[in-house]
Amino acid sequence: MPAIPTSQASDHHDVTVIGAGLSGLAAALRLAMFGKKVILLEKHYVVGGLNSFYAKKGIKFDVGLHALTNYPSQQSGKSSPLLKLCRQLRISLDSLNLLPQSHSRITFGTESLLFDNNFDFFISQVEDKFPKERDRFQSLLAKMETFPAYSVDAEDLSTRNILKESIGDPLLSEMLLCPTCYYGSARKNDIDFPTFVMLFDAIFRQGLARPELGIRAILDPLIGKLEELGVQRRMNCGVERIRTKGDKVSEIVLESGETLTSDQVISTCGAVETEALLAPSESSTPSTTEGKFSIMESIFVFQGNPKDFGWEETVVFFNDSEIFRYGEPEGLIDLRSGVICMPENYGNQLHNSDNKSKLRITHPANYDRWSELEQPTYESEKNLWEERILENGMRYLKNGKEVIDSFRAKTTFRDTFTPRTIKKYTGHANGTLYGSPQKRRDGTTAFENLFLAGTDQGYVGIVGAMLGGIAVANNQILRSI
Ligand SMILES: Cc1cc2nc3c(=O)[nH]c(=O)nc-3n(C[C@H](O)[C@H](O)[C@H](O)COP(=O)(O)OP(=O)(O)OC[C@H]3O[C@@H](n4cnc5c(N)ncnc54)[C@H](O)[C@@H]3O)c2cc1C
């Protein structure tokens, strides 16, 4: 390791933020808005983390972004978390050009529930399909409204147990669990109740939308503002080690060997990953349980529009039976349930100039199984599963079986990523999407100047991660000024 130049070692900041995903970008911006001297360190060469972007064969892809949740509907009004985060970061909601979803669907076997951005419509769907559950569903809604989901002291209850007590028909419970688990659960076959309440509100009470220009509509203004405020952003700049002295972080060691110092550190790379950066002997916290939930997603780029095939929905959450199984599968991938997203079904979106659309199909996948494959087998398995994913997914789309051949003929490009890809580009242990099942809502750690923000703080998704970053900046660092 090269010697550390003293001039670099003296490059002192008020706050170091590790990771330029959505929580890190939001935290850095909030701190800079209040005059803090901030340095933002990112291992990858692009910002965005789990919600980044890339291009292949001239086609632009968002990594995630099936949906921006928390669409500020008339019912949610000014209390919408999305409006709150726009206010806190001084971003105009209008600048995002949000296109609302058409409608979405949860299908379990032969039963379906539709929802759109009008919560009353979802209530009417539940009442139509499960008339005996009408009163119990209303009581559950009332219980959720009074539950302090956003409080750092919110009790970490099992949603499955609460649904068992509250709802009579198990199928309704399973159908409610499905979208909320897919959008943010780190637990096998369950989701903690605070996260369930937050995501239920985010998906059903408020709703889904998509910025017309994709995730860059969010990332670009954040980067522009960080630059205006003089935040030092260093890309391709992985942190190798967090050194501590007593109960404080003393130095940040970069992969280049350079060291940095700051009064405070916010790490957004995950609890397990942050523990690995701290020398184990210096960490007095018990080690965090590793998350295991990861996914495989295949994206089919096709000529035309989903509506050409009669596909009207924006997102389809599907399960092949009445029992929802969520978690790490035994094999490479679990086809029994998944999520289909058709980004071109947001708004009355016109065709792209090249008249192409995307069909994205996502399934739970096993990191270890994908990781142990040699490269040629890895590639061939990806191709094999891509085809199986498509055939399986078509079962859940209108006339899917009949149109599959014409869909294949119109497909011009396919891309697939696995848990291995997620690990490679974000550093998340096990390629996990939602981090560890153990959350630290206030962001504190065993070290008094080290905080966690984002996924492992218990704030998930695009809106959640940004609110998490803002909350740590406000409550742990800015509260004293
Ligand atoms: C395929 C997919 C689809 C998704 N779809 C949606 C969706 O439709 N809607 C939604 O709301 N959410 C979605 N999500 C979830 C959402 O993307 C995440 O919850 C959110 O982006 C997490 O942000 P974060 O800042 O907490 O973490 P991350 O995005 O993981 O950011 C952490 C950052 O830290 C960096 N890093 C890691 N280690 C180091 C190190 N040692 N040194 C420096 N930097 C480091 C990483 O490179 C990364 O940029 C999706 C995620 C995926 C993967």
The CA distance from 77 to 370, in Å, is: 44
Residue 428 near residue 410 (C-beta atoms within 8 A)? no
On whether the CB atoms of residues 389 and 411 are closer than 8 A, the answer is no
The pLDDT score that the predictor gives to residue 14 is 97
How far lies 143's CA from each of 163, 203, 270, 375, in Å? 11, 17, 31, 50
Q: Are 44 and 23 in contact (CB under 8 A)?
A: no
Q: Which tokens hold the place of 287? A: 């080690």
Query: Residue for token digits 């209040």?
Result: 34
The angle formed by the CA atoms of residues 152, 154 and 158, to the nearest 5 degrees, is 135
462 lines ligand 1 (CB under 6 A): yes
Residue of the nearest CA to atom 4 in ligand 1? Answer: 64
Q: Whose CA is nearest to atom 31 of ligand 1?
A: 21
- The pLDDT score that the predictor gives to residue 349 is 59
Q: Please tell me the predicted confidence (pLDDT) of residue 460.
A: 85
Atom of ligand 1 nearest to the CA of 20: 49
Taking a C-beta distance cutoff of 8 angstroms, is the pair 9, 264 a contact? no
Residue 355: predicted pLDDT: 87
Asked if residue 265 has its Cβ within 6 Å of ligand 1, the reply is: no
How far, in Å, is the centroid of ligand 1 from the Cα of 433? 7
Taking CA 16 as the corner, what is the angle to CA 12 and CA 22, rounded to the nearest 5 degrees? 155
Question: Angle 324-205-337 (CA atoms, 0-180°, nearest 5)?
Answer: 20
In this prediction, residue 286 carries a pLDDT of 54
DSSP character for 419? H
**Beta carbon of 288 within 6 Å of any ligand 1 atom:** no
Does the beta carbon of 363 sit less than 6 angstroms from any atom of ligand 1? no
d(CA 207, CA 268): 26
Q: What is the pLDDT of residue 284?
A: 52
**306 alpha-carbon distance from chain centroid:** 24
| Mutation choice for ligand 1 from 41, 50, 104, CB with most ligand atoms inside 8 A | 50
CA of 129 to the centre of ligand 1 (A): 36
* DSSP H or E segment with residue 222: helix 216-228
Tokens of 286: 């018990």
Q: Report if pTM > 0.75.
A: yes
Give 252-258 contacts, CB < 8 A, sequence gap 24+: 252/16, 252/18, 252/41, 254/41, 255/43, 257/1, 257/2, 257/4, 258/4, 258/5, 258/8
Long-range pairs for 85-94: beta carbons < 8 A, 24 or more residues apart: 85/26, 85/463, 85/466, 85/467, 85/470, 88/30, 88/470, 88/474, 89/26, 89/29, 89/30, 89/33, 89/222, 89/225, 89/466, 89/470, 90/33, 90/225, 91/221, 91/222, 91/225
Q: How many CB atoms lie under 10 A from the CB of residue 237?
A: 20
Ligand 1 center from residue 452 Cα (angstroms): 14
C-beta of residue 226 within 8 angstroms of C-beta of residue 359? no
Tell which residue, 361, 449, 421, has the closest CA to residue 397. Answer: 361
Superfamily of domain 6-55+216-289+437-480: FAD/NAD(P)-binding domain (3.50.50.60)
Query: Is residue 44 in contact with ligand 1, taking CB distance under 6 Å?
Result: yes
pLDDT at 77: 65
Where along the chain do its domains lie?
A: 6-55+216-289+437-480, 77-209, 292-426
> Is 385 in a helix, a strand, or coil?
helix
- B/e letters for 349-376, b = 16+ CB within 10 Å, e = fewer, are eeeeeeebbbbbbbbbbbbebbeebeee
Cα 49 to middle of ligand 1, angstroms: 4
Taking each helix axis as running N to C, give the angle between helix 159-166 and helix 170-182, from 0 to 180 degrees, rounded to the nearest 10: 150
Other beta carbons within 10 Å of 348: 8
Is residue 455 lining ligand 1, measured as CB closer than 6 Å?
yes
Per-residue confidence (pLDDT) for residue 200, from 0 to 100: 97
> Cα of 66 to ligand 1 centre, how many Å?
14
Ligand 1 contact, 452 CB (< 6 A): no
**Residue 209: what pLDDT?**
95
Q: What is the pLDDT of residue 25?
A: 98
Position 8 scores a pLDDT of 44
**Cα radius of gyration (the chain):** 22
Give the separation between CA 477 and CA 5, rounded to whole angstroms: 29
- What confidence score (pLDDT) does residue 403 get? 95
Ligand 1 contact via 268 beta carbon (within 6 Å)? yes
Full pLDDT tens readout for the chain, 481 residues: 333 343 344 579 999 999 999 999 999 999 999 999 999 999 999 999 998 888 888 888 888 788 999 998 766 666 789 999 999 999 999 999 999 999 999 999 999 999 999 999 999 999 999 999 999 999 999 999 999 998 888 898 999 999 999 999 999 999 999 999 999 999 999 999 999 999 999 999 999 999 999 999 999 999 999 999 999 999 999 999 999 999 999 999 999 999 999 999 999 999 999 999 997 555 555 578 899 999 999 999 999 999 999 999 999 999 999 999 999 999 999 999 999 999 999 997 555 667 899 999 999 999 999 999 999 999 999 999 999 999 999 999 999 999 999 999 999 999 999 999 999 999 999 999 999 998 888 999 999 999 999 999 988 899 999 999 999 999 999 986 5
Q: What is the pLDDT of residue 350?
A: 56
Tell how far the Cα of 50 is from the centroid of ligand 1, in angstroms. Answer: 3
Q: Is 66 in the pocket of ligand 1 (CB under 6 A)?
A: yes
Torsion of CA 243, 456, 336, 110, to 10 degrees: -170
Listing DSSP states for 309-375 in one string gives GT---SEEEEESSSS---S--SSSB--SEEEEE-GGGBTTPPPPTT-EEEEEEEEEE-HHHHHTS-H
Residue 3: the pLDDT is 39
d(CA 226, CA 409): 45
Q: Which of 22, 29, 51, 389 to mutate to test the pocket of ligand 1 (most atoms within 8 A of CB)?
A: 51
Please indicate whether residue 179, judged by its CB atom, sits closer than 6 Å to ligand 1. Answer: no
